[in-house]
């Protein structure tokens, strides 16, 4: 059987206010055709399908349209587990309807642990895999609160709760595997080498020990304290492949090739722009049962074989970070225009001279270009505005009114003009506070 492992789609996410539905659409189209080309039997999506717990109509439309397309393909099963960004109740709401399409959704820890363990069979072949579809394990799902416990106690209990949950799920999977093998014709289950039996797959959405992240990827710490990070030896050894989500950098866990994060399929920020995004293809070649026509005895044949392959995802929208002096920035923009490029740009001015019309000069350089600037950072303006009173002062020490006052000072705004500007600024701040706290 062939599986495709992906995660962290974050449908509905924007980048500095820029909607990204064209990218999401292109990725899901690519994924659909990849599943067809690779003849994938099972699709695993390990959490963070949406970017928020209340996705917009467009994000929902992309999700359900994709599921319908896959259900009409040769891909036999889809398994979706929730991530920390997802709403468990939102994902679970249509699960009974989606099950008719062989889409299995696990939005939260189930009352009956067996409901998280799925036996997925390939039509007409006798091949199967068992999937422990473990969703993001929330604090309340795995830890009991005790009065007076320390942060280390909380972290330890969280880790123990995660490990216990996986141990329980895998034990159920092993029991189901034994029952399946016992029901099949052929040699007794005990006579089939362990590595040649029905594979057990586990899914998860969590941090592992030593895992890599990048600045600006938006990945949040899930539990208090790094003690709650799980190392590779904490997972049951019976797991043949561990499909993880949450981290956007594709990586293996602790050197174990069969334990992997697929990573996000598109760059979630400029910090991820240089990563090669990917999905993971896992192929299990299981034993076949043959009967001797003379003796009527059955035996397991075909040596077991597991192949794990990273499949690169194309870049659907180029993100480019440019930093340097104004001359450096303009030169790099001109080089991109020669390609030509439709990149989204993040620009950081690091020159020593104060350039007050930086945005205007950049926009002039981009005139008649298909490139778009999403963010401009001007260190000189920032440093000048702060105008620190003492060396240890940081932006966190100032409130929004003090920052604005220093902006007025830095720009040498006349006293006669300040009252009207302050009044307008206060109106903006009040409106923002009202929108945030309706």
Report pTM. 0.79
129: helix, coil or strand? strand
Among 54-58, 157-161, 256-260, whose mean pLDDT is lowest?
157-161
Claim to verify: residue 304 and residue 350 sit in the same structural domain:
no
- Measure the CA–CA gap between 308 and 310, rounded to whole angstroms: 7
Claim to verify: residue 300 and residue 335 sit in the same structural domain:
no
Claim to verify: residue 368 and residue 417 sit in the same structural domain:
yes
- Measure the CA–CA gap between 169 and 412, rounded to whole angstroms: 66
Distance from first CA to last CA of the chain, Å, rounded?
Answer: 51
DSSP one-letter string for 201-238: EEEEES-BTT----TTS-PPP-SSSGGGPBPGGGS-TT
Among 75-84, 86-95, 424-433, whose mean pLDDT is lowest?
424-433
Asked if the bond preceding 102 is cis, omega within 30° of 0, the reply is no
Claim to verify: residue 123 and residue 199 sit in the same structural domain:
yes
Claim to verify: residue 298 and residue 336 sit in the same structural domain:
no
Task: Quote the percentage of the chain above a pLDDT of 90.
Answer: 53
Q: Name the residue with tokens 């499909």.
A: 243
Claim to verify: residue 82 and residue 193 sit in the same structural domain:
yes
What SS3 string covers 295-310?
Answer: CCCEEEECCCEEEEEE
DSSP 324: E
- Measure the CA–CA gap between 132 and 44, rounded to whole angstroms: 11
pLDDT of 312:
97
Task: Select from 277, 294, 312 the last residue of a domain.
Answer: 312
Range of the domain at 185: 2-312
Region of 218 on the Ramachandran plot (φ > 0 left; ψ -120 to 50 alpha; else beta): left
Q: In this model, does residue 295 exceed pLDDT 80? A: no
Claim to verify: residue 306 and residue 326 sit in the same structural domain:
no
Q: In this model, does residue 292 exceed pLDDT 60? A: no
Q: What is the CATH number of the domain that holds 198?
A: 3.60.21.10
Claim to verify: residue 334 and residue 375 sit in the same structural domain:
yes
Claim to verify: residue 266 and residue 375 sit in the same structural domain:
no
Render pLDDT for 300-309 as a digit per residue (tens, 0 to 9): 444 347 899 9
- Measure the CA–CA gap between 90 and 55, rounded to whole angstroms: 9
Task: Select from 312, 330, 350 the last residue of a domain.
Answer: 312
Render pLDDT for 107-156 as a digit per residue (tens, 0 to 9): 999 889 999 999 998 876 778 899 999 999 988 887 766 677 777 777 78
Render pLDDT for 160-195 as a digit per residue (tens, 0 to 9): 889 999 999 999 999 999 888 777 655 444 444 444
Q: Is the dihedral of CA 392, 394, 399, 401 positive or negative?
A: positive
Claim to verify: residue 275 and residue 252 sit in the same structural domain:
yes
Task: Select from 312, 328, 347 the last residue of a domain.
Answer: 312
Task: Quote the percentage of the chain above a pLDDT of 70.
Answer: 81
Tokens of residue 220, six digits: 């949040």
Residue 323 — φ and ψ, nearest 5°?
-135, 155
Secondary element (H or E) of residue 66:
helix 57-71
How many domains, the chain? 2
Claim to verify: residue 304 and residue 327 sit in the same structural domain:
no
């Amino acid at each position: 059987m062939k599986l495709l492992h992906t995660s962290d789609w974050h449908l509905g996410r924007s980048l500095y206010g820029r909607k990204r539905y064209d990218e999401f659409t292109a990725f899901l189209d690519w994924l659909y055709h990849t599943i067809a080309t690779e003849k994938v039997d099972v699709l695993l999506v390990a959490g963070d399908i949406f970017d928020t717990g209340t996705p917009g109509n467009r994000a929902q439309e992309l999700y359900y349209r994709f599921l319908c397309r896959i259900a009409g393909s040769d891909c036999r099963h889809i398994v979706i587990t929730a991530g920390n960004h997802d709403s468990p109740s939102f994902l679970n709401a249509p699960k009974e309807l989606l099950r008719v399409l062989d889409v299995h959704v696990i939005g939260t820890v189930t009352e009956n642990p067996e409901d998280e363990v799925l036996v997925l069979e390939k039509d007409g072949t006798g091949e199967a895999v068992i999937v422990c579809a473990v969703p993001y394990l929330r604090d309340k799902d795995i830890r009991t609160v005790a009065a007076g416990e320390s942060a280390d106690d909380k972290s330890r209990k969280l880790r123990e709760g995660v490990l216990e949950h996986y141990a329980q799920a895998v034990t159920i999977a092993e029991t189901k595997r034994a029952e399946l093998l016992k029901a099949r014709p052929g040699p007794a289950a005990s006579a089939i080498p362990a590595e040649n039996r029905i594979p057990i797959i586990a899914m998860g959405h969590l941090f592992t020990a030593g895992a890599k992240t990048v600045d600006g990827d938006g990945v949040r710490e899930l539990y208090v304290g790094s003690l709650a990070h799980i190392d590779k030896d904490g997972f049951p050894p019976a797991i043949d492949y561990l499909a993880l989500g949450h981290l956007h950098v594709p990586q293996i866990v602790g050197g174990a090739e069969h334990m992997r994060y697929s990573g996000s399929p598109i760059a979630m920020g400029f910090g991820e722009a240089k990563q090669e995004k990917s999905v993971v293809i896992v192929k299990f070649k299981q034993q076949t049962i043959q009967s001797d026509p003379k003796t009527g005895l059955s035996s397991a044949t075909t040596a077991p074989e597991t192949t794990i392959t990273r499949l690169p995802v194309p870049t659907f929208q180029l993100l480019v970070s440019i930093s340097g002096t104004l001359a450096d920035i303009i030169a790099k923009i001109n080089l991109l225009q020669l390609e030509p490029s439709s990149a989204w740009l993040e620009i950081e001015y690091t020159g020593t001279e104060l350039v007050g019309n930086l945005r205007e000069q950049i926009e002039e350089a981009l005139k008649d270009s298909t490139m778009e600037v999403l963010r401009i950072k001007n260190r000189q303006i920032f440093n000048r505005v702060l105008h620190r009173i003492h060396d240890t002062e940081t932006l966190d020490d100032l409130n929004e009114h003090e920052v604005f006052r220093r902006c007025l000072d830095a720009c040498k705004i006349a006293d006669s003009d300040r009252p009207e500007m302050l009044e307008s600024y206060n109106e903006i701040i009040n409106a923002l506070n009202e929108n945030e706290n309706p």
